[in-house]
Amino acid sequence: MSEEKPLISKSRLEQRILRCCSNVFDTNISDEMKYALGRIYNQQLVGRNIKIHGRRTSMRLTPASWTSLREIADIENTTIDEIVSVVSDITLNETSVTSAVRVFIEGYYREKARLSEWDKIL
């Protein structure tokens, strides 16, 4: 079985990433940053139906964000719908629920990492 060939060569992908991000980042970015940016570049948004307080709606997130949301729901012994409902309740009118969910996911894992580091100190 042959190995799947990437749609874009690594160097070409890196060039596109650097071109897209040249206004934001210095071009001497680390390999870790290139990898993370490449993952964003290759992600497609996936739409799924959810319920906010029983009202059916849809939300588009990357597959990685959907996976993270599922993991958080499992850890917290709740559902994705419940998490999104709570996030929706505290979201300001100027902010979309989808954006707020992305911020929530990032904040959840950052806090988890911070607490994990704190446990190592104690």
Cα(65)–Cα(99) distance, integer angstroms: 11
- Looking at residue 76, the DSSP 8-state letter turns out to be T
pLDDT digits (tens, 9 = 90+) for 58-116: 999 988 899 999 999 999 999 999 999 999 998 877 789 999 999 999 999 999 888 88
Q: How many domains does the chain have?
A: 2
At 122 the pLDDT is 54
Question: Does the pTM of the predicted model rise above 0.75?
Answer: no
36 and 67 fall within a common domain: no
Give the H/E segment covering residue 59: strand 55-61
Q: Would you place residue 35 in the very low, low, confident or very high pLDDT band (cuts 50, 70, 90)?
A: confident
Q: Would you place residue 55 in the very low, low, confident or very high pLDDT band (cuts 50, 70, 90)?
A: very high
- Look at residue 82 and tell me if it is in a domain: yes
38 and 84 fall within a common domain: no
70 and 33 fall within a common domain: no
Cα distances from 52 to residues 59, 68, 88, in angstroms, run 11, 18, 8
